Amino acid sequence: MPNHGPENLSNRNRTAEAFTLTSAFWFAAATSFGLIAAGYLIAPDFMANIEYIHFGRIRPMHVNAVLFGFVTPGLLAAAFYYVPRLLRTRLFSQRLGVFNAVFWNITIAYGMIAISTGHTQAREYAEFPWVVDIMVVVCFVLAVFNILMTVRRRKEPILYVSIWYVCAAVILTSITYCLGNVIWKPDTGALQGIPDAIILWFYGHNIFGLLLTPLALGLAYYVLPIATRSPLYSHTLSLLGFWSLIVVYTHIGAHHLLQVPVPTWLKTISVVDSVAMVIPVMVFLINIWYTVKGKLGEIHSDIGAKFVFTGTIYYFFVNIQGSMMALPYVQRITHFNNWVVGHAHIGVLGFAGLLALGGLYYILPKLTGRPLHSRFLADMQYWLVLIGITGFAIDLTTVGLIQGNAWYNGETVYRILPEIHPYYVLRASLGVLIVIGAYTGLYNVIRTLYFNRGAKS
């Protein structure tokens, strides 16, 4: 079980606060972008001819803001809170941490402006132009430095599993980000031909595999045992889960390219080990679900833990779905359509996003020493986001099956468009719920951090 550091260690953690605010802000911004994009799919003449928010630009803005503005900083906020506590020390440098967060916001904002004005490298998840790429790498390197120096100054000899995951996430992403963005070619940020697809999906897949997932698992390993006052079920499973995740997740990106002329052995590896992803995922889930077994009451009473636990259930679904989608026979139907969009939303919002939100709500009362501004609003956000993402999962999967089966039977893309229109309307409506949830969360976070009139706990 993670140890609570003594209270006198917790001076105000400005770094965690700054990342919390960053995450809450970009959640609201990113979902707004997503809603605009969803609007275009329903009514393409809606906001026609406004260059800067045109569909082809607002969609990558949405994706990048979610990945690098909302989820990553949200999970890092919690990490900057629990890493020092688990190590019984202070964060190496609060000043560096706050600078890191400020620079992070400048980076994302710059990236948004770049994409919105057409300065994009047009590779999914790697759209940011070279200057922004460098800034993103600087952000990660600063986080690596701050965290590793904290590890070095620790007073707790044993490294808890959350620390392993946080270290792996920031260190490995600093590297895969450079590789995936082909950072040694500032002009295009790309290789030529098929190798470009291989390196892009190696990287794209590892944004989930080596950034969001390890950060999210580290958070779950921290929050759930404490919230339920239970010791972690198994150290051996923690080890197995960690190393199998690093081994397996890292090399299966080619399952995005099963229908593309890339070397067959690469496809084979990616298919086989996409199925093997069941190992790290189930090992983690067995470990964490056995830890909280019989303690749903404690989870329910802590809004942070509630988000986190719900996220682990989505982790189960997204993994089963992901392994299945990597089978070539299944992928004939699911590739190129909204099934994949659904999968991405289940993974990034349903799993990593819910965990990030859980992290924010878990640490906020501890950062401020007061209860949340409003538990009601936090619960409301929980249900808005949960209904939204569950609806997304059902709606987008259904549309994907309609599209995939129709195409496979010889219908053309154009013929299916009127048929899927109602599902796009439903999708945007569900998106409204998520957007309202995001703004509710932003309001709650700001009130809790800066205008909280509640009694000090």
Partner 1 sequence: MKMTPTVIIVGILSLLTAITLVVIYWPYTHRVTAPSEIFRNRSPEEEAGRKIYLANGCVYCHSQSIRAFDWGHGAERIAQAGDYLGDEPIVLGSERTGVDLSQEGGEHPDDWHVAHFMNPRNTRPSSIMPPFEWLGMERLTTLTRYIQSLGLKNADDRMQRQRFFKQHAVRAFEAGPVENVRWLASEIPEGWHQIPNPYPTSEASLQRGHKIYQFFCIGCHGPIGDGMGPAQPWIYPPPLNFTLLKGRKLSGGILYYQIMNGITGTAMPYFKRELESQKIWEVGNYVAVYFINQSDANQEPRGIDSSWEPGFNLKQKSADD
Site for partner 1 in 356-395 (CB under 8 A): none
Tell me the window of 4-12, 93-101, 318-326, 328-336 that interacts with partner 1 (CB under 8 A): 328-336
Report d(CA 262, CA 197) in Å as an integer: 9
Does 341 help bind partner 1 (rule: CB under 8 A)?
yes
Contacts to partner 1 from residues 131-150, by CB under 8 A: 148
Contacts to partner 1 from residues 234-293, by CB under 8 A: 239, 243, 246-247, 250-251, 253-254, 256-257, 259-263, 266, 269
Does 85 help bind partner 1 (rule: CB under 8 A)?
no
CA separation, residue 151 to residues 12, 69, 270, 302, 363 (Å):
19, 25, 34, 29, 20
CB of 420 to partner 1, least distance (A): 9
Tell me the window of 11-19, 316-324, 363-371, 409-417 that interacts with partner 1 (CB under 8 A): 409-417
Report d(CA 345, CA 353) in Å as an integer: 9
Single residue of 6, 294, 297, 418 touching partner 1 by CB under 8 A: 418
Contacts to partner 1 from residues 419-438, by CB under 8 A: 421
Single residue of 103, 289, 317, 336 touching partner 1 by CB under 8 A: 336
| SS3 label, residue 121 | coil
Does 122 help bind partner 1 (rule: CB under 8 A)?
yes
CB of 443 to partner 1, least distance (A): 31
Dump the DSSP string for 268-304: HHHHHHHHHTHHHHHHHHHHHHHHTTT-HHHHHH-HH
Burial class (CB in 10 A: 0-12, 13-18, 19+), 128: buried
Single residue of 407, 427, 433, 435 touching partner 1 by CB under 8 A: 407
Closer to partner 1 by Cβ: residue 64 or 105: 64
Single residue of 95, 118, 296, 450 touching partner 1 by CB under 8 A: 118
Closer to partner 1 by Cβ: residue 320 or 341: 341
Other Cβ atoms within 10 Å of 81 Cβ, number: 27
Tell me the window of 184-192, 284-292, 311-319, 448-456 that interacts with partner 1 (CB under 8 A): 184-192
Structure tokens at 432: 């409204």
Contacts of 52 (CB under 8 A, 6+ apart): 116, 117
Contacts of 179 (CB under 8 A, 6+ apart): 199, 202, 203
Closest by CA to 226, choosing from 291, 158, 154, 311, is 291
Contacts to partner 1 from residues 38-57, by CB under 8 A: 40-41, 44-45, 48-51, 54-57
Report d(CA 189, CA 176) in Å as an integer: 14
Report d(CA 26, CA 207) in Å as an integer: 18
CB of 347 to partner 1, least distance (A): 14
Tell me the window of 66-74, 157-165, 279-287, 432-440 that interacts with partner 1 (CB under 8 A): 157-165
